Chain A
């Protein structure tokens, strides 16, 4: 039954072109990250060549090669920004669509007139959303690998495994937002308010919590890696304790360590610890969704619409 519900949801997402739109947008953004990386590579080469000429004319020695300062996967560092911005918003929409149509179209009322366990219904919907997000991440992985191959002219197994690790963590992060999209639909009587509530939650997680825990202004949150504020201020001494639970910051930090673009190093165990609040959020939201759908009155919501 789970596969039937998931299959139905997948067909709907394909027919409504939501899947295609998500694939297209994230595919283009991944390609854009690659183009920006290529542009960065080219700029560094040209600036270096000009610097060598300029310093030679001044009788100074050539500077060190700047590529020694640039990690091989750094050309994809913009993806660490695009996933929480664009990917998360698209994931909200996928989650929103998964439940919204059943409420407005009266499908929910019809489905639950049958002897169907609501947990199975939730499992099917979540499976479809995670499958869609997984497929998009696989496509982004392929585009990223191709971009690396074109720009760096080679790609080792180490880089490929790091890239795969990054997209697995990104997939997990996007699942959180798909679940937020689903929960927001259920707790609001109108679909439109559900989408706005989910967008508000995204704003809080992406921009507001990092301001409280690390003093990151919104523009700082748009940078792939930003150092948190010093804990010398009493305010941050208190709020920094919540920083390990700020999933947007932990996602960025974990991604930077997985891609080896971070300026600091840490053990695999520490990186795994950074991912744990994201896993925790998935579990909490899934449980919340099961409880909410179990108590949801589909007949009332259908008429209220």
Chain B
């Protein structure tokens, strides 16, 4: 084989790959435009931004006063020449707890709705067969749709993030610094992966059912179990949550006593942990809460330590996302171009 034929083959392969990229980006742009034009999705996104702003406002209103108290103490301590000044117990990022929880619940519903609408739109408009008459493979269609959806989610997440950061800065009177911005960026990146996973779930469930509405119901059912039921069961099974005010407190036991007694409940605690492990939402929540200082125990530590501690959650998040991406590619490849139930 001479050099010119090898170069020729590389050139043909390069042209194919560029054309493939172009097709994927065209589908992605179509997905983005269709989502932005859908009034229901815009309404749901508007609701998400309003509740994010409200939750940050509620948290920040009291925070400004606490920050002012700490600053007064610090100034007085500095003026009196004290060497050791207690660090601030306040964490501005923790004010975003509600914002993260809304992404976890409403963000997932928006993602499922987008996945569902993406498939049902092409069916109802009878454009799926038309799309397949073009040189567009099922894999490219899936990848383009997923990328378009990720662009929609990135826009939505950026809007909520700007709302949240401005809320904390203006109402809470505390602007986040560089390292906090990086932590917030990682938390919102996890939100993007999380929402994309639910998009894939909505699209897979819809594409695999003859009646699209049934697919939506199946996806919402899985959402209900993963986002609401499994974490709630895990919380309910927590030994200390058995009695209002805490079981160990009611028995007059301190933290040491609690730790001693829990050594007799290792199997029970393992079952409880496994129940929570099954939930994609719980992994997103744990990672996002660690990044946004919601749990006080994480606050003293730096980013590498936090990433190491939450590596299990990162692994589960990426694992679920990879599995669902493979699932959507496979579903789109095998999806028949003409389906019954197009009107649903």
Chain A interfacial positions (CB closer than 8 Å to B): 29, 32, 36, 39-40, 43-44, 46-48, 50-51, 54-55, 60, 63-64, 66, 69-70, 78, 81-82, 85-86, 89, 93, 96, 100, 104, 190-193, 195-197, 199-200, 203-204, 207-208, 211-212, 215, 217-219, 222-223, 225, 229, 233-236, 263, 305
Complex CA gap A86/B43 in Å reads 23
Of B22-30, B71-79, B189-197, B211-219, the one contacting chain A is B211-219
Of B80-88, B162-170, B229-237, the one contacting chain A is B229-237
Task: Known contacts A66-B251, A200-B47, A233-B61; decide if A54 and B257 are in contact (CB<8 Å).
Answer: yes
Q: Is the interface of A mostly helix, strand, loop or mixed?
A: helix
Complex CA gap A32/B243 in Å reads 19
Q: Does B278 contact A (CB under 8 A)?
A: no
Q: Which residue of A lies closest to B236 (CB)?
A: A36
Name the contact of A44 in the complex, choosing from B217, B233, B242, B343 (C-beta under 8 A).
B242
Taking a contact as CB atoms under 8 Å apart, the answer to whether B55 and A211 are in contact is: yes
Complex CA gap A156/B247 in Å reads 26
Taking a contact as CB atoms under 8 Å apart, the answer to whether A50 and B213 are in contact is: no
Taking a contact as CB atoms under 8 Å apart, the answer to whether B344 and A63 are in contact is: no
Minimum distance in angstroms from B286 CB to a CB of chain A: 13
Complex CA gap A218/B103 in Å reads 10
Taking a contact as CB atoms under 8 Å apart, the answer to whether B216 and A66 are in contact is: no
Complex CA gap A237/B247 in Å reads 34
Taking a contact as CB atoms under 8 Å apart, the answer to whether B57 and A235 are in contact is: yes
Q: Which residue of B lies closest to A263 (CB)?
A: B244
Taking a contact as CB atoms under 8 Å apart, the answer to whether A44 and B43 are in contact is: no
Name the contact of A211 in the complex, choosing from B51, B220, B252, B257 (C-beta under 8 A).
B51
Taking a contact as CB atoms under 8 Å apart, the answer to whether A199 and B228 are in contact is: no
Complex CA gap A191/B343 in Å reads 9
Task: Known contacts A54-B260, A263-B244; decide if A190 and B265 are in contact (CB<8 Å).
Answer: no
Taking a contact as CB atoms under 8 Å apart, the answer to whether B62 and A190 are in contact is: no
Name the contact of A66 in the complex, choosing from B58, B97, B250 (C-beta under 8 A).
B250
Taking a contact as CB atoms under 8 Å apart, the answer to whether B58 and A235 are in contact is: yes
Q: Which residue of B lies closest to A51 (CB)?
A: B251
Residues of A within 8 A of B265 (CB): 43, 46-47
Q: Is the interface of B mostly helix, strand, loop or mixed?
A: helix
Q: Which residue of A lies closest to B228 (CB)?
A: A85
Question: How many pairs, one residue from A and one from B, have CB atoms within 8 Å of each other in the complex?
Answer: 143
Name the contact of A200 in the complex, choosing from B40, B51, B105, B343 (C-beta under 8 A).
B40
Known: A55-B252, A196-B116. 8 other contacts (CB 8 A): A40-B237, A70-B242, A78-B232, A192-B117, A192-B216, A203-B109, A211-B54, A218-B105
Minimum distance in angstroms from A91 CB to a CB of chain B: 13
Complex CA gap A235/B62 in Å reads 11
Taking a contact as CB atoms under 8 Å apart, the answer to whether B113 and A196 are in contact is: yes
Residues of A within 8 A of B343 (CB): 104, 305
Task: Known contacts A69-B244, A207-B105, A263-B244; decide if A217 and B98 are in contact (CB<8 Å).
Answer: yes
Complex CA gap A132/B209 in Å reads 25
Task: Known contacts A54-B257, A203-B109, A211-B54; decide if A217 and B101 are in contact (CB<8 Å).
Answer: yes
Residue interface bits B28-72, CB-to-A below 8 A is 1, else 0: 000000000000100110010001001101100110000000000
Q: Which of B302-344 contact A (CB under 8 A)?
A: 343-344
Task: Known contacts A50-B261, A215-B58; decide if A197 and B40 are in contact (CB<8 Å).
Answer: yes
Q: Does B253 contact A (CB under 8 A)?
A: yes
Q: Which residue of A lies closest to B215 (CB)?
A: A192
Complex CA gap A223/B251 in Å reads 23
Minimum distance in angstroms from B267 CB to a CB of chain A: 11
Q: Which of B164-193 contact A (CB under 8 A)?
A: none
Taking a contact as CB atoms under 8 Å apart, the answer to whether B57 and A218 are in contact is: no
Taking a contact as CB atoms under 8 Å apart, the answer to whether A219 and B101 are in contact is: yes
Name the contact of A218 in the complex, choosing from B47, B102, B239 (C-beta under 8 A).
B102
Name the contact of B261 in the complex, choosing from A51, A85, A190, A218 (C-beta under 8 A).
A51
Q: Which residue of B lies closest to A233 (CB)?
A: B61
Complex CA gap A51/B249 in Å reads 11
A-B contact pairs, 26 of them (CB 8 A): A32-B233, A39-B237, A43-B247, A46-B265, A47-B239, A47-B248, A47-B265, A48-B251, A51-B253, A66-B243, A69-B243, A85-B229, A89-B224, A100-B213, A192-B213, A195-B213, A199-B220, A200-B44, A203-B109, A207-B102, A207-B106, A208-B47, A218-B102, A218-B104, A222-B231, A233-B58
Q: Which residue of B lies closest to A305 (CB)?
A: B343
Residues of B within 8 A of A223 (CB): 235
Residues of A within 8 A of B252 (CB): 55, 60, 63
Q: Does B297 contact A (CB under 8 A)?
A: no
